[in-house]
Amino acid sequence: MNIIEIILPLALVCTLGFICAKRAWLSKNDIDSISKLTFKLLIPAFLFQKMATAELAGNININYFIGFYLPLLITYGIAFLINFKFHNGYKSQSASAGVFALGASYSNTVIVGIPVLMAVLGEQSLSLVFLIITFHSALLFTLTSILALNNQREPANSSPHALWHKLAQQTLFNPLVASISLGLLVNLLPMSLPNVLNNTLILLGSPAIALALFLLGCSLTFYRIRQQKYFIACATLIKLVLLPTLVYITSKHLLLLSHEVVTTLVIISACPTGVNAYLIAKIQNIHRETVAGSIVASTLSCIVTLPCWLWFLSN
């Protein structure tokens, strides 16, 4: 398996977006319009269709979830504390720390993880992948949204109802979380999507990932990433090294899971930061440059780290 053949097209699409924005072939208004279409319609359609039609594994083992989600939450907490304690611009701000933690823990399973696992373990690994990542986005996005509530200073007499309303707006009404949740609900119902609707969603979702990567490249022209280089490097190291290490220790040595399951969990966790993390940073208007830089840096770096993990797991 050639990891470069999987990663390089992602980097090229991102580079194309950077060039188009840098050369002003697309105006800021053009980019904003494409962004609205992509993140409010195309990506939700893509996520809903994938989740609604996923073949979830029949034998659900709670240890599979523990092996992945326990290290994931620990890693999220470590990244949160690093930003909360040491970031000069966002020190002691839970909202920014949450967004940074998201960028250091959210995996690009769809674009990178699934092709790699199919090449290594075959299509039989996909049922376990979809089972594990069912709550991936919903968990991390909801957790980040809860922390981001502190970013909006409320009057002293704000009611709990107002806070819960804002949380609902950022989670239940978030296009990403809503599409995943509804897709899971449809998947669990004793029915399937009509062919016409399914094919329509496939058609809508087919350009979603490419456009998200393109817009990520465009965004890099508007942010001063060099000012965040240390935190970008930190997030990349946490994402590609610390998280998969904790997943390996938990699944292999604490839970004693099978080699195939361990490989699946480690590869999912060793994927670069997912593009949708940038959308959350954009919605919260915090750490956009850091998350965008982390996505690019981790995507390029995983050309080296993913083969290392595959070699390690094969021995």
Q: Tell me if 174 sits within 8 A of 96, measured CB to CB.
A: no
What's residue 121's pLDDT?
A: 81
For residue range 268-286, list pLDDT tens digits in order.
Answer: 999 999 878 887 888 778 8
Sequence-distant (≥ 6) Cβ neighbours of residue 108 within 8 angstroms: 271, 272, 273, 274, 275, 295, 299
What's residue 212's pLDDT?
A: 82
Confidence of residue 156 (pLDDT cuts 50, 70, 90): very low
Angle between helix 114-121 and 288-314 (nearest 10)? 10
Torsion of CA 78, 79, 84, 90, to 10 degrees: 180
List helix spans (H) across the chain. 3-22, 28-37, 43-53, 62-86, 94-103, 114-121, 126-133, 136-148, 160-170, 175-188, 195-205, 208-219, 229-237, 243-248, 259-269, 276-284, 288-314
What's residue 251's pLDDT?
A: 96
Q: What pTM value is reported for the model?
A: 0.78
What's residue 13's pLDDT?
A: 87
For residue range 231-267, list pLDDT tens digits in order.
Answer: 999 999 999 999 999 999 999 999 999 999 999 999 9
What's the rounded Cα separation, in Å, for the pair 242 and 231? 15
Q: How many Cα atoms occupy the beta-carbon half-sphere of 188 within 13 Å?
A: 8
Contacts by 28-33, CB closer than 8 A, 24 or more apart: 28/222, 31/215, 31/218
What's the rounded Cα separation, in Å, for the pair 277 and 108? 9
| Nearest alpha-carbon partner for 101 in 231, 215, 14 | 231
What's the rounded Cα separation, in Å, for the pair 301 and 2? 15
For residue range 288-308, list pLDDT tens digits in order.
Answer: 888 988 988 898 888 889 989
User: H/E element holding 153?
Assistant: none
| Nearest alpha-carbon partner for 59 in 191, 257, 248, 268 | 257
Instruction: Flag whether pLDDT at 162 surpasses 80.
Output: no
Please state, in angstroms and as integers, the Cα–Cα distance from residue 92 to each residue in 33, 82, 95, 147, 176, following that order.
34, 10, 9, 12, 28
